Structure 1
Amino acid sequence: MQEIETLTRVLYADTPQSTLYHYTTFSGLLGIVQSRTLWASDIRYMNDSAELRHTADLIAAEVRERIEDGRANSSLLSQFADWVAHWITSGHMLFGASFRSHGNLLSQWRGYSLPGKGVSLGFCPEYILRCAARQGFMIGKCIYEPARQQNLIGQVVDAVERLGGTREDESLSAVERSALYRESFAAVETDLLRIAAILKHPSFREEKEWRIVSPVLTRSGEIPIRFREGHDMLVPYIEFDLAGEGGAPVMDHLYLGPTENMNISMNSLQMFLEQSGIVPKRGIDYCRIPFRQR
């Protein structure tokens, strides 16, 4: 649908201008360097599906307000809200991986690394953009501002109402009308997924996250899907190729996370990177955050 397609293009038109950081553990670093890939997880499984639930909650609130005001097609919008709630677990697949604008935040060390075993990998934004374009990925800046999120969701619901309205026919039965509504919902699914991928709860605004997102997959056989162990479930992911011209990923800068063995940890990290053909342009820095055993 052209309205929402245009909205999506505008949202993903913004491009990063400074180093993009990916927080991970030593184990994650070994895997990224040795495989030359980054794991892009199914966004339905990010933070136990809270990512998509946030968008579903925004849509439900918008629908409820319109129905209460008596200014909407209540049948259409009620079914849309129900469809979105179901779509969270059973719809098309979209995979994403996260980067941060700031490579040395205590909250991120706590959230994405293990005590004494964290690194923040900095990549030149142009390099990530080239890798993304080569694989059909898009990169978007996450949106945290409630007013902007509400405005975006309002535009989505407006489009659904207009599309559903063009298919109204008083001669249709309730069952036939519902079937036409579902066609309208399916028409916006791909772009709604892409929009949902960059809408984050305002409490996470400190992260200043950029997210790479894959093409939308309508069936599991389109791209090889792998699985990793999550907190309490298996998490589907696909590989995002990070190989540079020389084979190894090209890194701009690294931070070593909080550790009680800073000197020898820094030494072994440098040895590993050099052996792997990786020489960060701006070097490696220690985070200088005091180590606290959790």
Structure 2
Amino acid sequence: MPSNSTDLLFRHITQYFLPKPDAKAPIYHYTSPSGLKSILTGGTLWVSDFAFLNDKSENRYLYEVLEDVLKKPQFPLELNLDFLSELTQILNQRADSLPDNYYRYICSFSSNPDSLSLWNYYTKTATGTGYNIGFNWKLLLSSISPSPEQEVSCGKVLYKPNEQAELLEKMVVGYNAAYASASSPEEKSQVLTELKSCLDILSAYIKYPAFINEEEVRICITQKKDSFCPRNAQYRESNGIMIPYLSIKFSADAVKSIGISPTNAKDLSAYGISGMLTDLGYSDVQVIPSGIPLRN
């Protein structure tokens, strides 16, 4: 987590510079039938450790973009030489490593209520049926009660190279100024530590342009590591690996809709979901079958 001296810079980059979802539009969490039942019954979402959910190419991509940004002849200013040297070392060392100072948990959503590519991922069932849950993202965020060692961020994933470069330019300019004005080696070291943390968080929001059709929105919870305290995570098993996650409660009024994938069982699926919503106390929730034609 950032120190007090550069706390504002850290928050501006990881909180305010990230584009937010439309305030009036829901964000959609795609899931399987069993996942839907678990989420609605328990009133909780799982926020899983990012290191276990993505291959290393996603982290590496941010560093590829940053390297291109630093090579631009029209970079907005001449960087402090010592800072540039340190940043170059970070570029060479950090892309394939795990975060040193904190844990990072991610929950993924989409701005698209009827995405064929996402349906395809969650419809591996006997009936070929999957679901999404439309959340009011502000009500969902307000449900999260972070501990003192946690930070919560929410933003749209950036896919367009010009938007990615603009965000990283702002980050480099800000930390260059902080490094140049630091009055001691200890302060300079703290700036670089925070820069590494900032890069690790931003890597969750900068993805290859080929994935733009996912229109992803992410909630990220970062938690400071403490060697004297347990991380207080829960664990689920996947392919023999124990994956840490946090459970976050949400209020029933944060749920605005349930989407149903293209399926031959559309009417029965909608009928079952409507009864389930009533019995679990979810009111004024729309059940919306997909508008995508089903191929026979």
Q: Which TM bucket (shorter chain)?
A: 0.7 to 0.9
Match of 1:28 in 2: 35
Q: How far off its partner does 1:167 sit?
A: 6.5
Task: Give deviations 1:25-51, integer Å, cap 9, x for gaps.
Answer: 011112112221101112223332443
Counterpart of 2:272? Answer: 268
Corresponding residue to 1:157 among 152, 167, 172: 172
Pairwise CA RMSD of aligned residues? 3.3
- Whole-angstrom distance in 2 between the partners of 1:134 and 1:168: 33
Residue 262 of structure 1 and its aligned partner are, at CA, apart by 2.1
Distance 1:4 1:278 in 2: 38
Map 1:112-127 to 2 at 5 A: 112-115=122-125, 116-127=128-139
Change (3 A) 1:49 1:58: same
**Letter of the aligned partner of 2:280 in structure 1?**
S
Q: Is the 8 A contact 2:135 2:256 kept in 1?
A: yes
Residue 133 to residue 78, structure 1, CA distance change in 2 (3 Å): same
Aligned AA for 1:197?
A: A
1:254 aligns with: 258
Pair 1:214–1:77, CA change in 2 (3 A): closer
In the alignment, the residues of structure 1 paired with residue 119 and residue 71 of structure 2 have an alpha-carbon distance, to the nearest angstrom, of 39
The match for 1:95 is: 105
Does residue 239 (structure 1) correspond to residue 247 (structure 2)? The answer is: yes
CA contact (8 A) 1:63 1:78 kept: no
Q: Distance in 2 between matches of 1:51 and 1:162?
A: 28
The aligned runs of 1:64-79 (5 Å cut-off) are: 72-73=81-82, 75-79=85-89
1:286 Cα shift? 1.4
CA change 1:270–1:80 in 2 (3 A) is same
Contact 1:132–1:139 (CA<8 Å) still a contact in 2?
no
Give the AA of the match of 1:262.
K
1:16 corresponding residue in structure 2: 22
User: Which residue number in structure 2 is paired with residue 173 of structure 1?
Assistant: none
CA distance in structure 2 between the aligned counterparts of 1:286 and 1:41, rounded to whole angstroms: 28
The equivalent position to 2:282 in structure 1, one of 242, 259, 278, is 278
CA gap 1:113/1:10 in 2 versus in 1, 3 angstroms? same
Counterpart position of 2:12: 6
Contact 2:137/2:254 (CA < 8 Å) preserved in 1? no
> In the alignment, what sits opposite 1:194?
201
Distance 2:240 2:223 in 1: 25
Relative to 1, partners in 2 of residues 1:165 and 1:33: Cα closer, same or farther, differing over 3 Å?
same
Does the 8 Å contact 1:94/1:213 carry over to 2?
Answer: yes
Letter in structure 2 aligned against 1:119: Y
What's the offset of the Cα at 1:149? 0.9
Match of 2:152 among 137, 140, 161: 137
Query: Which of 208, 213, 223 pairs up with 1:206?
Result: 213
- The amino acid that maps onto 2:288 is D
Per-residue CA deviations over 1:91-140 (Å, capped at 9, x if unaligned) read 52111211211211101111344242310111223322322467763321
Match of 1:148, SS?
helix
Number of residue pairs matched by the alignment: 277
**What pairs up with 1:162-173 in 2 under 5 angstroms?**
162-165=177-180
Is the Cα–Cα contact under 8 Å of residues 60 and 96 in structure 2 kept in the other structure? no
SS in 1 for 2:159: coil
TM-score under structure 1 normalisation? 0.78
CA contact (8 A) 1:63 1:77 kept: no
- Per the normalisation by structure 2, the TM-score is 0.77
Q: Which moved more, 1:158-167 or 1:10-19?
A: 158-167
Look up the SS of the partner of 1:200 in the other structure: coil
Structure 1 pair 146/232, CA: closer, same or farther in 2 (3 Å)? farther
Cα drift, residue 159 of structure 1: 4.1
More strand by share: 2
**82 and 233 in structure 1: CA distance in 2 versus 1, 3 angstrom threshold:** farther
TM-aligned CA deviation for residue 20 of structure 1? 1.4
Quickly say closer, same or farther: Cα 1:127–1:162, change in 2 above 3 A.
closer
